[in-house]
Structure 1
Amino acid sequence: MLTKAESQLLDRLVEDKNPVDTQRKTLSHYLIKIARLGGYLARANDPPPGNLIIWRGLSRFIDIATGAKL
């Protein structure tokens, strides 16, 4: 889903709350990072992010990634 450059950009933008081994970074790990860009707090008892939060985070991430490419 994400290119190597996009995943590296996400790693720089959003810090991990719990350090994760580089081998264990999965798609769900990066979806939480995108959701955090959209306003998701990722607390222990929070439900999974919804469509609106993912949409906000993804649109913000696309803008940031486009700026990084320029």
Structure 2
Amino acid sequence: MADSNSSVRISGFVLGSLMFQHFNSDSDVEGLILGESKAEARSNITDSQIDNIQFEHTMNIQKHISCRKLNR
């Protein structure tokens, strides 16, 4: 049986900056969220259950860039 976990990590500075940008905008804001993604598969072998595989996906957000004007 396979278990799956996903998590997102973001620093307080980046989160605060992203929230500030969102709250001070009159409409939706588009932009980019930059960071890295890491996926791991761990297999735990025990006497009672041999196929215990755990998948872990972690996204580490390091920066955001907001687009003030869209090219339309």
If asked which structure has higher relative contact order (CA below 8 Å, sep 6+), I would say 2
Higher helix share: 1
User: When you count strand as a share of all residues, which structure comes out higher?
Assistant: 2
Larger CA Rg, structure 1 vs 2: 2
TM-score (norm 2): 0.26
